[in-house]
Structure 1
Amino acid sequence: MSKDKAKLEQFLAQNKPLTVLTGAGLSTASGIPDYRDHNGNWKSAPPMQHRDFMTDEALRKRYWARSLHGWPVLYNAQPNPAHKALAQMQNEGLIGTIITQNVDGLHQKAGATDVINLHGYANDMICMDCGARSPRIDMHERCLALNPEFADLDATALPDGDADIDMDFSRFKIANCLNCSGLLKPDVVYFGDTVPKERVAKARQALAESAGLLVVGSSLMVFSGYRFARQANEQGQPIGILTRGKTRADELATLKIDATIADVLL
């Protein structure tokens, strides 16, 4: 057994059940690109901003054209062994609620039951005009039918269902809400938007009622995740961090393991 694995097992045994907070680093082994490097810096251009999506039609066209090639990576992704290990730990009572910053739904696919999708779920759509919800696959297929000339492009997937394509998107036709013809948006919290208060309150309560916090695969550079490390610190709860590179909460950590996630969890 590696030293890192032994340290984590001791941390789990002494502080169960832990609330777990997961980030993009957990899903890279499932083929989903992450946002930041080991120093917490952006690997590519920052993802879509909420205000831009809502107000700029040209940027929406760019987003939907590129997502024809980026989003299927999210949609078709499968849980990796680390997702399954966390689900098993939950089943054994070592951990309680899983708060995830990811929008891929892979915790649930792996069998985890108590999961809070902090930033929403990328495979669902919501109409910003009438509130109707629908599967994203429906809009994806309608956009493909409306824009056959964009369907066969060669592109590299980026985080957030985006893809690396640089071209003229002005001719792209966006599929609108089938209920009211309103503006459709993935049911996720974009940068610049706020996590729903009731979701944050539920996550805060879960952490308060647990023995501590374990962060897996997150740099915590975004406040929506960092707030839970700060809460645990203020409550005197132990904080364990398992991720590659530095995080915003390193100085708050009781245990910091800089290693490949699967090597430690499995």
Structure 2
Amino acid sequence: MTETAALQEFIHRHERIFLLTGAGVSTRSGLPDYRDDDGAWKRPQPVTYQAFMKAEATRQRYWARSLVGWGQMGEIRPNGAHRALARLEARGGAEVLVTQNVDRLHQAAGSTQVIDLHGRLDLVRCMHCERRMPRAAFQSDLATRNPGWAELVAARAPDGDAELEDVDFSRFAVPPCPVCGGIQKPDVVFYGESVPRHRVETAFAHLAAADAMLVIGSSLMVRSGFRFVEAAAAAGKPIAAVNLGKTRGDALFSLKVEAESEAALKFLVE
């Protein structure tokens, strides 16, 4: 049996699949991923929560790069992998879809039972009063306060960022919260920050109700996703994965398909 045939059989055999997706699902949409086939970093690690909250210079650099990168996010569209997983949900084969991505492409493709484990890039949150605002509105404020920056050209980086280097960020103006003056941050979980407990508990409740788990496009090097694989294995649930290269969970899979996500899941939309 080929890997693709084995994956089809795995999906058809299980009625309530816990889906976990990572950056590899969105690469065909034009969003770069962070890691290579061995699970090592391809590029400098993302800014940490502690660094962002501690230093104004870090926030200036982050928001300047994000101002440039966000303009490119409007070009991003769901690909065949997103549509395939939406189709699987529509026909009743998915218990829930937990994504480590913050791009909301699963929702754009039609998935409704989604847990955004690491949050949403399309919202900005005040870290003091918890006020949230659409990123589009924040983008407009950033552009108004920093004329000319939005027109800069830079290579696309993961999660709406841009490879903007050798630039003086010291005069970049970062808007404070308009209500309380607090620090504003994307409503996503940064490295060094904890995933909100209610999201984790909700995901584990769905895992308990599932009869199998399928990992798509994740190296599982981040603990926040790998813990669900550990829990599924401990509960004796079969686990399959679609990923190019090494993952942290390889020893726990009953099936692994070494393929690009869109190609491996194509049968779901044919």
TM-score > 0.5, shorter chain as reference: yes
Alignment of 1:169-180 (within 5 A): 169-180=169-180
Q: Give the 3 Å change call, closer, same or farther, for CA 77–86 of structure 1 in structure 2.
A: same
State the Cα deviation string for residues 82-112 of structure 1 (Å, max 9, x = none).
Answer: 1011000111112220000000111111111
Q: Could you tell me how far 1:16 is from its partner in structure 2?
A: 2.0
Q: Which one-letter code corresponds to 1:46 in the other structure? A: Q
Q: Could you tell me how far 1:181 is from its partner in structure 2?
A: 2.2
Query: Is the CA contact 2:4–2:257 (under 8 Å) kept in the aligned structure 1?
Result: no
**Which deviates the most, 152-161 or 23-32?**
152-161
Q: Could you tell me how far 1:4 is from its partner in structure 2?
A: 2.4
Q: Which one-letter code corresponds to 2:161 in the other structure? A: D
Is 2:238 aligned against 1:238? Answer: yes
State the Cα deviation string for residues 33-66 of structure 1 (Å, max 9, x = none).
Answer: 1111111111110011000111111010000111
SS in 2 for 1:20: strand
Query: Is the CA contact 2:124–2:135 (under 8 Å) kept in the aligned structure 1?
Result: yes
Query: Is the CA contact 2:19–2:215 (under 8 Å) kept in the aligned structure 1?
Result: yes
Distance in 1 between the 2:188 and 2:45 partners? 16
Q: Give the 3 Å change call, closer, same or farther, for CA 193–237 of structure 1 in structure 2.
A: same
Aligned to 2:148: 149
Aligned to 1:93: 92
Aligned to 2:67: 68
SS in 2 for 1:77: coil
State the Cα deviation string for residues 160-179 of structure 1 (Å, max 9, x = none).
Answer: 22211121100100112122
Query: Is the CA contact 2:24–2:260 (under 8 Å) kept in the aligned structure 1?
Result: no
Alignment of 1:1-266 (within 5 A): 3-166=2-165, 167-266=167-266
Distance in 2 between the 1:73 and 1:82 partners? 21
Distance in 2 between the 1:219 and 1:207 partners? 19
Query: Is the CA contact 2:103–2:159 (under 8 Å) kept in the aligned structure 1?
Result: no
Identity of aligned residues (%): 46
Q: Could you tell me how far 1:119 is from its partner in structure 2?
A: 0.2
Q: Which one-letter code corresponds to 2:236 in the other structure? A: G
C-alpha RMSD of the superposition? 1.2
What is the TM-score when the length of structure 1 is the normalising length?
A: 0.97
Q: Could you tell me how far 1:242 is from its partner in structure 2?
A: 0.4
State the Cα deviation string for residues 191-228 of structure 1 (Å, max 9, x = none).
Answer: 00000111000001101100011000000000000000
* Unpaired runs of at least 5, structure 2: none
Distance in 1 between the 2:86 and 2:139 partners? 30
SS in 1 for 2:148: helix
**Which deviates the most, 62-71 or 174-183?**
174-183
Distance in 1 between the 2:34 and 2:130 partners? 29
Distance in 1 between the 2:168 and 2:71 partners? 22
SS in 1 for 2:225: helix
Distance in 2 between the 1:74 and 1:244 partners? 24
Query: Is the CA contact 1:239–1:255 (under 8 Å) kept in the aligned structure 2?
Result: yes
Q: Which one-letter code corresponds to 1:44 in the other structure? A: R
Query: Is the CA contact 1:47–1:160 (under 8 Å) kept in the aligned structure 2?
Result: no
**Which deviates the most, 64-73 or 40-49?**
64-73
What is the TM-score when the length of structure 2 is the normalising length?
A: 0.95
Distance in 2 between the 1:39 and 1:28 partners? 17
**Which deviates the most, 172-181 or 84-93?**
172-181
Distance in 2 between the 1:129 and 1:75 partners? 29
Q: Could you tell me how far 1:75 is from its partner in structure 2?
A: 4.5
SS in 2 for 1:83: helix
Q: Could you tell me how far 1:121 is from its partner in structure 2?
A: 0.3
Query: Is the CA contact 1:69–1:157 (under 8 Å) kept in the aligned structure 2?
Result: no
* Unpaired runs of at least 5, structure 1: none
